[in-house]
């Protein structure tokens, strides 16, 4: 069995991180607006313009903000897109942490995953089990997003339908993060294949940096995943629910 508070703590930590990411985006919105209206302060406006000059022009079309010059509109979407990369990393860390907790409590979920005698001797039973869990979870990353989601649902003893309902938006977010890191935020065939595999609609744009409305939607999808997975695991596995 698993303590409900342990599962809830993992969720609550990530919800706070989501608030931090959202707060940073809102701060940048106000800061860039102030800088845009203060052309005589080089320490503020000058650095805003200097940053904008180094950012691809595609970013300036993501947000339509009256009062901010077209060129200067590049800055916030660029920073927000970096915050979005951090957001996806937080979700991946949450899933890995929850799955590790579940596997540590129910080792049979990873079947015949093997570790060497040397590993057991060095790490002890719990350490060897954690090693096996991490090895198993790392292998999941090589699955297609749809198969990866189905295997997560199985490890959590969760209905595929319920998990995939919150997983599909995350698949799109992960695919967008990957093209952001590796392809300059430009949509490609890999992105298209990943999101169509989970039944998501293809966007009309080719440049997929994080706009203000997209980022807000991503935060909501992230909170939904955190809450639904945690609530399910508390009901399914926690000591509190079994007493």
- Written as tens digits, the pLDDT of the chain (243 aa) is 789 999 999 999 999 999 999 999 999 988 888 877 765 666 778 888 889 999 999 999 898 776 677 788 899 999 999 999 999 999 999 999 999 999 989 988 887 666 665 656 666 667 777 777 888 888 888 888 889 999 999 999 999 999 999 999 999 999 999 999 999 999 999 999 999 998 888 999 999 999 999 999 999 999 999 999 999 999 999 865 554
- The token duo for 1 is 């069995």
Residue 137 inside a domain? The answer is: no
Evaluate the CA torsion angle 70, 72, 74, 80 in order and state its sign: negative
How many helices, marked H, and strands, marked E, lie in the chain? 9, 0
pLDDT, residue 130, reads: 78
CA torsion, points 125, 147, 170, 158, in degrees to nearest 10?
-60
- Say how many domains are in the chain: 1
Domain that holds residue 39: 4-95+160-242
- Expressed in percent and rounded to 5, the helix, strand and coil fractions of the chain are 75, 0, 20
CA atoms within 13 A on the CB side of 81: 26
Residue 67 inside a domain? The answer is: yes
Residue 186 has φ and ψ, to the nearest 5°, of -95, 125
Residue 175 inside a domain? The answer is: yes
Q: Specify whether the backbone of 41 is left (phi greater than 0), alpha (psi in -120 to 50) or beta.
A: beta
Rounded Cα distance between 110 and 137, Å, is 9
Residue 123 inside a domain? The answer is: no
Residue 109 inside a domain? The answer is: no
Residue 140 inside a domain? The answer is: no
Of 97, 100, 99, which Cα lies nearest the Cα of 130? 100
Residue 129 inside a domain? The answer is: no
Helix (H) or strand (E) holding 35: helix 4-36
Rounded Cα distance between 32 and 16, Å, is 24
Residue 35 inside a domain? The answer is: yes
């Amino acid at each position: 069995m698993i303590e409900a508070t342990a599962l809830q703590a993992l969720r609550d930590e990530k919800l706070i991180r989501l608030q931090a990411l959202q707060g940073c985006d809102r701060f940048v919105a106000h800061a860039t607006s102030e800088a845009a209206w203060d052309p005589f302060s080089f320490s503020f406006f000058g650095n805003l313009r200097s940053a904008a000059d180094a950012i691809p022009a595609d970013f300036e079309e993501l947000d339509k903000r009256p009062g901010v010059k077209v060129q200067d509109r590049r800055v916030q979407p660029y920073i927000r897109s970096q915050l979005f990369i951090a957001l996806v990393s937080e979700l991946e860390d949450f899933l890995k942490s929850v799955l590790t907790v579940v596997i540590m409590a129910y080792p049979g979920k990873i079947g015949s995953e093997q570790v060497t005698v040397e590993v057991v001797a060095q790490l002890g039973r719990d350490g060897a089990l954690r090693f096996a869990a991490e090895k198993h979870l790392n292998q999941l990353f090589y699955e297609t997003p749809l198969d990866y989601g189905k295997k997560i649902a199985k490890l959590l003893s969760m209905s595929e339908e319920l998990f995939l309902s919150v997983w599909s938006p995350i698949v799109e977010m992960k695919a967008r993060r990957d093209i952001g890191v590796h392809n300059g935020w430009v949509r490609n065939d890999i992105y298209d294949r990943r999101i169509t595999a989970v039944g998501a609609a293809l966007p009309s744009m080719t440049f997929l940096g994080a706009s203000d409305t997209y980022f807000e939607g991503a935060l909501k999808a992230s909170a939904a995943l955190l809450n639904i997975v945690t609530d399910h695991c508390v009901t399914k596995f926690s000591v509190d629910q079994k007493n």
